[in-house]
């Protein structure tokens, strides 16, 4: 198999679940964190019992960007408040304004998800012009679950940046040609 798909090909189930595609998402996160946030990020495999939000009392942020076109699905980034605040501070070049901290955090986490979803889809030629992104939606809170409407292929990746964690989930349902 070649390193990239030909533009005329569709993304297949096998390609979506391939090691190469997982490498594409890792490359995208590395690029976004390095260029936009000025920090390194690495793949992390936490134990099943390790809670994502242990350091922040359960307050989590999940940004969701929808995918539509030759594939349908979502790109989701989930992190605890401390991780989200770290991302926000990096994007702002310092602490966000105290009077608007929640909106700033949601904007930063949503924009991070948008950059990751766009960067990933642009690494796959058949998706570049045949897959659109929605504006980000951000969910905040404690003990919530994201339930997609239809069964989909799912790829989960966990990352560390500094002492912070991030969970990325790509869900895709392949569209007919």
60-92 pLDDT tens trace: 999 999 999 888 899 999 999 999 999 999 999
3/161: higher pLDDT: 161
Q: Please write the tens of the pLDDT for every residue from 90-118.
A: 999 998 888 899 999 999 999 999 999 99
Strands (E), the chain: 42-44, 60-69, 71-80, 131-133, 137-141, 153-161, 164-174
pTM of the prediction? Answer: 0.86
In the chain, where are the structural domains located? Answer: 13-46+55-174
| Arch. (CATH architecture) of 13-46+55-174 | 3-Layer(aba) Sandwich (3.40)
Report yes or no: 69 and 124 within 8 Å, Cβ to Cβ: no
Residue entry with tokens 């030909």: 6
């Amino acid at each position: 198999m070649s390193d990239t798909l030909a533009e005329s090909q569709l993304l297949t189930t096998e390609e979506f679940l391939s090691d190469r595609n997982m490498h594409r998402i890792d490359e995208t996160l590395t690029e976004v964190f390095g260029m936009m946030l000025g920090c390194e990020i690495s793949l992390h495999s936490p134990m099943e019992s390790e809670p994502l939000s242990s350091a922040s009392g359960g307050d989590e942020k999940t940004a969701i960007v929808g995918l539509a076109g030759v594939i349908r699905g979502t790109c989701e980034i989930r992190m605890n408040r401390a991780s989200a605040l770290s991302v926000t501070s990096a994007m702002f070049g310092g602490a966000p304004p105290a009077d608007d901290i929640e909106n700033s955090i949601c904007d930063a986490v949503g924009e991070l998800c948008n950059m990751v979803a766009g960067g990933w889809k642009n690494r796959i030629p058949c998706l570049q012009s045949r897959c659109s992104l929605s504006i980000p939606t951000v969910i905040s809170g404690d003990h919530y679950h994201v339930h997609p409407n239809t069964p989909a292929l799912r790829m989960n990746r966990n990352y560390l940046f500094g002492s912070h964690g991030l969970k990325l989930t790509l869900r895709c349902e392949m569209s007919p040609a």
